[in-house]
């Protein structure tokens, strides 16, 4: 083989190796030389039995860019060992017309996941998410939600846990018929009234929500989340206001 052919072959190998390293780099490598804010991304994960996958949900604050997904490749990996998290090239899907994001993944039971994005020149990441798709599959129980006060402009939503009882916080979304998010709130209690924030512990609603309109269709989405950010309970319920 001629020398210039050998050189070309070696350069091609090096190029392929570099591309693979970039595509499958670690979270630790991604943070090198960057300002970093840990635990500053709201995120959680739920199993989806209909699609046989795990969905990772996150709230990309306005101005957030470059959403990235990392998962551990070993069951023995420590959740705080950023060198054990490898980046995956997965699609980022819009929910509620971009208010939230979803990353569909095939990450296996027992692994850890971290998502990040860039904001104001810094990398921000979520707390590690423990994947429990087999040991604690997410329960989809619309019958566990009760809607009351539908004859008023301030309906109340209450719910019960399923068989998984280690939920520590509940995330509620009220959306309109165009799938726009009207309110996004967290409560430690199993009740929320639109739009009463007295028992709200965290509020991601950006603007004052509009009054609900009789005759229009709306949606109530609920996630019950454990301490390690696994979704135990997932509910989607359509509703509309009743006439007085």
Place of tokens 């229009």: 216
Structure-token match 């017309």, residue found: 97
Dihedrals φ, ψ of 8, to 5°?
-60, -40
**Residue 107 exposed, middle or buried by CB count within 10 Å (0-12, 13-18, 19+):** buried
Identify the CA nearest to 107 among candidates 50, 167, 56. Answer: 56
Contacts made by residues 205-214, CB under 8 angstroms, sequence distance 24+:
205/181, 206/62, 209/174, 209/182, 209/183, 210/182, 211/153, 212/153, 212/155, 212/241, 213/241, 214/240, 214/241, 214/242, 214/243
- When pLDDT is averaged across residues 148-171 and rounded to a whole number, the result is 97
pLDDT band at 24 (very low <50, low <70, confident <90, very high): low
Residue pair 185/202 in contact (Cβ under 8 Å)? The answer is: yes
Residue 51's pLDDT band, with cuts at 50, 70 and 90, is: confident
**Residue 32 phi/psi, 5° resolution?**
-60, 125
Closest to 194 (Cα-Cα) out of 210, 178, 179, 170: 210
pLDDT tens figures, 112-121: 999 999 999 9
Q: Rounded to two decimals, what is the model's pTM?
A: 0.89
Percent of the chain topping pLDDT 70: 90
> How much is the average pLDDT of 70-75?
95
């Amino acid at each position: 083989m001629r020398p210039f052919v050998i050189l070309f072959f070696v350069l091609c190998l090096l190029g392929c190796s570099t591309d693979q390293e970039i595509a499958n780099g670690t979270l630790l490598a991604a943070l090198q030389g960057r300002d970093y804010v840990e635990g500053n991304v709201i995120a959680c994960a739920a199993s989806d039995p209909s699609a046989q996958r795990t969905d990772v949900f996150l709230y990309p604050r306005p101005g957030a860019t470059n959403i990235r997904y990392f998962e551990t490749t070993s069951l023995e990996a420590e959740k705080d060992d950023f060198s054990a998290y490898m980046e995956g090239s997965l699609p980022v899907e819009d929910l509620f017309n971009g208010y939230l994001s979803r990353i569909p993944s095939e990450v296996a039971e027992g692994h850890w996941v971290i998502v990040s994005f860039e904001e104001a020149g810094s990398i921000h990441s979520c707390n590690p998410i423990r994947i429990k798709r087999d040991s604690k599959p997410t329960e989809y129980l619309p019958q566990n939600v009760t809607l009351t006060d539908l004859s008023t402009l301030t309906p109340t939503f209450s719910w019960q846990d399923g068989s998984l009882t280690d939920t520590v916080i509940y995330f509620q979304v009220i959306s309109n018929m165009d799938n726009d998010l009207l309110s996004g709130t967290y409560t430690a209690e199993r009740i929320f009234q639109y739009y009463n924030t007295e028992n709200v512990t965290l509020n991601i609603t950006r603007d004052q929500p509009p009054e609900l309109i009789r005759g229009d269709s709306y949606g109530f989405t609920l996630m019950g989340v454990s301490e390690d950010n696994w979704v135990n309970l997932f509910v989607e319920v359509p509703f509309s206001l009743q006439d007085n």
